[in-house]
């Protein structure tokens, strides 16, 4: 049974959505005017506290998964992670859908997710479908929500404005319900959209400037506004517990400040017994005597900074620790997750 994503706005909303598909003309010549790049460094969303205003912006759901680029080539399909790794074999359903798009060359930008029973993207479920961190499983239940088209029928679109790229993407994908779907564009008031997204349990929204070219990095052309803060932090150890399942009472977390690590608190909720057992086993192999952050504790076990955890939290305490933190899962090296940088 396929799960449909939760709508960001109510059914009776007057906001406009992406235009319906126009059938692709197979007789249109595919002229190789621009060489197809092996990889395009992704455009990243800049975190903001409130949505922008004005008609120059439109909005999408913020999906919680793995950023992927789908390279459709005449003889095969490649699925490339944000870190530049080829994970075609890890997402067979998405690769199969890409082959059915009816286009000879294209690069789609999107997010691979697994939807839960409520139609929301579930990062933990995606991790489990891949066999956990370092796992070798192929995710058969993941789908890709595509939100940009960087290359199409021999044409480099990265210098073209986003509104044109979105129009071509909607024309290519249409109303498909397979493993590749269109991430809907929604126009309207950003504050109302964010409130509705939060009310149905979504992570937040993405705002994009409709006239922007595709520029790599955090340029401000794309913005992310979150209902609940979620960032990546380095695990620098754990607190051993004789009573907790998996023997881990909490994970010790650090953020970056320049070239240094800064302790930002501990997280003791969100991981299951299986998660805790894996974390303890892995962290014990990374065990060090001197911590990378100035910490002392009778039951603390310190580790080399090698595991990156995605942490959901409600804000910061006055002394610089995470407030109401909850563990969501580990980030893969191939995902190229950026550890949170303190100002």
Kindly state the helix (H) or strand (E) to which residue 309 belongs, with its residue range.
strand 300-313
Per-residue pLDDT for 20 more than 60?
no
Kindly state the helix (H) or strand (E) to which residue 235 belongs, with its residue range.
strand 229-240
All domains of the chain in start order, with CATH: 46-226 (3.30.470.30), 229-335 (2.40.50.140)
Three-class DSSP labels, 255-279:
EEECCEEEEEEEECCCCCHHHHHHH
Q: What is the reported pLDDT for 6?
A: 52
Q: Are 325 and 267 in contact (CB under 8 A)?
A: yes
Q: pTM for this structure?
A: 0.71
Q: What is the reported pLDDT for 252?
A: 97
* Helix, coil or strand: residue 343: coil
Q: What is the reported pLDDT for 213?
A: 97
Q: Are 326 and 268 in contact (CB under 8 A)?
A: no
The residues carrying an active-site annotation are 62
CA pair distance 222, 208, nearest whole angstrom: 5
**Residue 203, by phi and psi: left (phi above 0), alpha (psi -120 to 50) or beta?**
alpha
Task: List the beta bridge partners of residue 180.
Answer: 144
**Residue 169, by phi and psi: left (phi above 0), alpha (psi -120 to 50) or beta?**
alpha
Taking residues 328-337, what's their average pLDDT?
78
The predicted-structure confidence for 59-78, as pLDDT tens digits, reads as follows 999 998 999 999 999 999 99
CA pair distance 317, 343, nearest whole angstrom: 15
CA pair distance 323, 330, nearest whole angstrom: 19
Alpha-carbon distance values, 125 to 89, 183, 235, 241 (Å): 18, 20, 21, 27
The predicted-structure confidence for 289-328, as pLDDT tens digits, reads as follows 999 999 988 899 999 999 999 999 877 888 889 988 999 9
Q: pLDDT confidence of 18, banded at 50, 70, 90?
A: very low
DSSP letters for 111-172: EEE-B-TTS-B-HHHHHHHTTSTT-----SS-EEEEEEEEEETTEE-TTS-HHHHHHHHHHH
The predicted-structure confidence for 164-210, as pLDDT tens digits, reads as follows 999 999 999 987 778 999 999 988 899 999 999 888 878 899 999 99
DSSP letters for 168-234: HHHHHHTT--SSEEE---B-S-HHHHHHHHHHTT--EEEEEETT----SB--SSEEEEESSEEEEEE
CA pair distance 122, 119, nearest whole angstrom: 9
Q: What is the reported pLDDT for 122?
A: 87
CA pair distance 95, 140, nearest whole angstrom: 11
Q: What is the reported pLDDT for 273?
A: 84
The predicted-structure confidence for 141-154, as pLDDT tens digits, reads as follows 999 999 999 999 99
């Amino acid at each position: 049974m396929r799960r449909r994503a939760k709508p960001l706005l109510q059914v009776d909303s007057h906001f406009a959505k992406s235009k319906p598909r126009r059938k692709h003309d197979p007789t249109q010549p595919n002229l190789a005017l621009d060489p197809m790049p092996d990889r395009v460094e992704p455009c990243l969303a800049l975190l903001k506290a409130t949505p922008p205003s004005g008609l120059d912006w439109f909005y999408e759901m913020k999906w919680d998964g793995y950023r992927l680029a789908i390279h459709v080539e005449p003889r095969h399909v490649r699925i490339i992670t944000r870190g530049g790794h080829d994970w075609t074999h890890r997402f067979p359903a998405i690769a199969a859908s890409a082959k059915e798009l009816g286009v000879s060359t294209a690069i789609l930008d999107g997010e691979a997710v697994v939807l839960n029973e409520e139609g929301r993207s579930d990062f933990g479920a995606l991790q489990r479908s891949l066999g956990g961190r370092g796992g070798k499983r192929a995710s058969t239940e993941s789908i890709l929500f595509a939100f940009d088209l960087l290359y199409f029928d021999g044409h480099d679109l990265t210098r073209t404005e986003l509104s044109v790229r979105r129009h071509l993407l909607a024309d290519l994908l249409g109303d498909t319900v397979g493993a590749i779907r269109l991430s809907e564009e929604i126009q309207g008031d950003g504050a109302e959209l964010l409130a509705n997204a939060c009310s149905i349990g979504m992570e937040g929204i993405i705002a994009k400037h409709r006239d922007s070219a595709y520029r790599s990095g955090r340029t401000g052309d794309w913005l992310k506004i979150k209902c609940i803060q979620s960032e990546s932090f380095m695990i620098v150890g754990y607190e051993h517990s004789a009573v907790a399942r998996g023997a881990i009472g909490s994970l010790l977390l650090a953020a970056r400040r320049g070239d240094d690590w800064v302790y930002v608190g501990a997280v003791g909720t969100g991981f299951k017994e299986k998660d805790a057992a894996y974390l303890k086993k892995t962290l014990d192999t990374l065990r060090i005597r001197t911590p990378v952050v100035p910490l002392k504790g009778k039951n603390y076990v310190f580790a080399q900074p090698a595991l990156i955890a995605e942490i959901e939290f409600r804000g910061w305490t006055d002394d610089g620790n995470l407030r109401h933190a909850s563990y969501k899962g580990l980030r893969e090296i191939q995902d190229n997750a950026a550890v949170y940088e303190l100002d």
